[in-house]
Amino acid sequence: MRKAKENRIIDSDAVIIEKKEILPGIHRITFEVPLPFINEVEPGMFIQVEVSHDSFPVTRRPFTISSISGNSIEIIFEIVGRGTEILSETEEGRSLRLLGPLGRGYRLNPGKWLLIGGGLGAAGFPGLAASIDCDLALLGAASRDKLLIIPGCETITITEDGSSGRKGLITDLLETVRWDSFSSVALCGPVPMMKAVIGMMPLPVRVITQVSSEARMGCGWGACEGCSVPKAGGGFLKCCSDGPVFPADSIDWERWEGIH
């Protein structure tokens, strides 16, 4: 396990400079952020967004930093509850309070990368792909309405209803993967999907796989212990400060699947 990174966390107002519904129910928001914030961002890190100044929701909501450009960052999110609904209705030009950049991102190892994403799990891949040698992305979703685009990376898609690419599950795409052509693998998606993917990997590939995790969060910076991820060998990791990106073999997948 890597030592916790001493990055500078900034709590500041950020103006929404663009908001767009990129797919049905899926929104992209671009925030203008201070330069010191940009200097601290690594692919895989996240922000805590205060979605409302009213009484609800009480806690900020975590979102992966999808990409960076100049002095702006983007998030891509799906409406799943009241917080994301409020966020989707927030207008361009308004400021929201952001805490970040938070957590520990991907280790940007040299060599060719394979990205494997399920649904909105791919939200952090655009920024990652811009920072590495992205050779191939395998993306799965329920339908084409839920498939994100990863600029600059050859992408193969699979959907459960067959509306884009092959019909099936992401694991169906793995049968023909030439694992030995990649130096690193990034994996993100629902826990059962990630566990199934890892179960199909040859052992040496598990060792070069980094997983971007999600957990219900309180503080977002290591204080409340509300974001536990079961650790291989016993105990727990904190998604927010030990992760959210972890080596795949540092997680106890049986226990983690059990709590989802």
Ligand X SMILES: Cc1cc2nc3c(=O)[nH]c(=O)nc-3n(C[C@H](O)[C@H](O)[C@H](O)COP(=O)(O)OP(=O)(O)OC[C@H]3O[C@@H](n4cnc5c(N)ncnc54)[C@H](O)[C@@H]3O)c2cc1C
Structure tokens belonging to residue 100: 């970040």
What's the Cα-to-Cα distance from 186 to each of 12, 13, 115, 152, 210, rounded to whole Å? Answer: 30, 31, 5, 16, 5
Residues 71-100, interacting with ligand X (CB under 6 A) = 75-78, 80-84
137 binds, among ligand FES, ligand X, none (CB under 5 to 8 A by kind): none
Which x/- pattern, by CB under 6 A, does the window 113-142 give for ligand X? -------x--x-------------------
Q: Of the listed pieces 70-78, 138-146, 159-167, 197-205, which binds ligand X according to CB under 6 A?
A: 70-78
225 binds, among ligand X, ligand FES, none (CB under 5 to 8 A by kind): ligand FES
80 binds, among ligand FES, ligand X, none (CB under 5 to 8 A by kind): ligand X
44 binds, among ligand X, ligand FES, none (CB under 5 to 8 A by kind): none
Q: How far is the CB of 221 from ligand FES (least distance, A)?
A: 7
Q: How far is the CB of 150 from ligand FES (least distance, A)?
A: 28
Q: Which phi and psi angles does 83 have, rounded to 5°?
A: -60, -50
244 binds ligand X (CB under 6 A): yes
Q: Of the listed pieces 69-77, 87-95, 199-207, 224-232, which binds ligand FES according to CB under 6 A?
A: 224-232
Which x/- pattern, by CB under 6 A, does the window 184-223 give for ligand FES? ---------------------------------xxxx-xx
224 binds, among ligand X, ligand FES, none (CB under 5 to 8 A by kind): ligand FES
Per the CB < 8 A criterion, the answer to whether 32 and 14 are in contact is yes
Q: Which is nearer to ligand FES, 148 or 229 (CB)?
A: 229
64 binds, among ligand X, ligand FES, none (CB under 5 to 8 A by kind): ligand X
Site residues, ligand FES (CB under 6 A):
217-220, 222-227, 238, 240
